[in-house]
Chain A
Amino acid sequence: MSTSPDAVDAAFFDELRKHYSDDEIVELALFIGMNLGFHTFFGSLKFYPLFSPEGQLLTQEESEKLYGGAPSSLNEQGAK
């Protein structure tokens, strides 16, 4: 859906239906659509998680060092 939406075609849905119901496919696609939108915008705002994986509260500078620069979702962009 994000980097190659044309690949999500009838044949793809036929494969998906072997494992998921139509209701589950809609739930998955809604979740992906919302995250696809949010990650790019929030990535551009340059803010990072408040906590380390161990649960320690971090400053934004510490978090940037820990979690890295631009989110990988920004590396492959645009509906082709």
Chain B
Amino acid sequence: MTYVTPLPLDAITDSEMLELISQARVLGVPDDLFPRIIWRAPEQAKPIMRALLMSHTQGNVDHRLKEIIRVLLARFANEKYFASLRSRKAQETGLSEQRIDEGCNEYDDDSKGFSEAEKWALRFADLLYLDAHQIDKAFYDNLKKHWTEAQIMELGSFMVCHYGMQMFMRALGGRSGVH
């Protein structure tokens, strides 16, 4: 049970928010609990839902890699709600639980087959909220060998939105499936 009571779904009548909830149901992230909580602040709710969905599903970075990064961040944040959710789009395009675990814990192990670009993206996620001092000019120089600046901003913005909302749900005590 969350510390703040989620609103009933029928309290949300705004057509744009309902469309965003519909898109999230198709994707699987977030489920209905998150919008039912954030609709208490409707002016913030719509841009945040839009940012979560767009940063996850659009752009020029592989969606499966973003999904691994999202789960990595949620586990690092020790946040159960978002860590329990899975992108159906990523699953349908071949991302397995085993691959997610490997990406979270063993991406540097050459035997796991992650490309150098994927390793640097996962290292970026691993370090950003653990020790951002290590993400210095030399780190960005290495990142730029594999990713364009547009892709780096896409990765960073994606992590910002999702980690921020993972910490929000951790603070509010959210758990997937416990509404």
Which residue numbers of A lie inside 8 Å of B, CB to CB? 1-2, 5, 8, 10, 13, 22-23, 25-27, 29-38, 40-41, 43-46, 70, 74, 77-79
A26 (CB) vs chain B CBs: closest residue? B40
B160 near A78 with CB under 8 A, answer no
52-99 of chain B: CB within 8 A of chain A: 76-79
Cα A8 to Cα B133 in complex, Å, equals: 26
A30 near B156 with CB under 8 A, answer no
B78 near A79 with CB under 8 A, answer yes
Which residue numbers of B lie inside 8 Å of A, CB to CB? 3-5, 37-38, 40-41, 44-45, 48, 76-79, 128-133, 135-137, 140, 156-157, 159-165, 167-168, 170-172
Q: Which residues of B contact A13 (CB under 8 A)?
A: 3-4
Cα A13 to Cα B5 in complex, Å, equals: 12
Cα A78 to Cα B126 in complex, Å, equals: 11
How many residue pairs between the two chains, A and B, have CB atoms under 8 Å in the bound complex?
A: 102
A37 near B132 with CB under 8 A, answer no
A31 (CB) vs chain B CBs: closest residue? B44
A33 near B3 with CB under 8 A, answer no
A74 near B132 with CB under 8 A, answer yes
Closest Cβ of chain A: how far from B123's Cβ, in Å? 13
Cα A27 to Cα B45 in complex, Å, equals: 9
A23 near B40 with CB under 8 A, answer yes
Cα A2 to Cα B5 in complex, Å, equals: 22
B172 (CB) vs chain A CBs: closest residue? A29
Q: Which residues of B contact A34 (CB under 8 A)?
A: 48, 160-161, 164-165
Closest Cβ of chain A: how far from B170's Cβ, in Å? 5
Closest Cβ of chain B: how far from A38's Cβ, in Å? 5
Cα A38 to Cα B48 in complex, Å, equals: 13
Cα A27 to Cα B38 in complex, Å, equals: 8
What are the 9 closest A-B residue pairs judged by CB atoms, nearest first?
A37-B164, A33-B168, A37-B160, A27-B41, A33-B164, A26-B40, A44-B135, A23-B40, A13-B3
B167 near A1 with CB under 8 A, answer yes
Cα A38 to Cα B156 in complex, Å, equals: 9
Q: Which residues of A contact B4 (CB under 8 A)?
A: 13, 22, 25-26
Q: Which residues of B contact A10 (CB under 8 A)?
A: 3
Which of B76, B156, B165 is within 8 Å of A33, CB to CB? Answer: B165
B160 near A38 with CB under 8 A, answer yes
Q: Which residues of A contact B159 (CB under 8 A)?
A: 37, 41
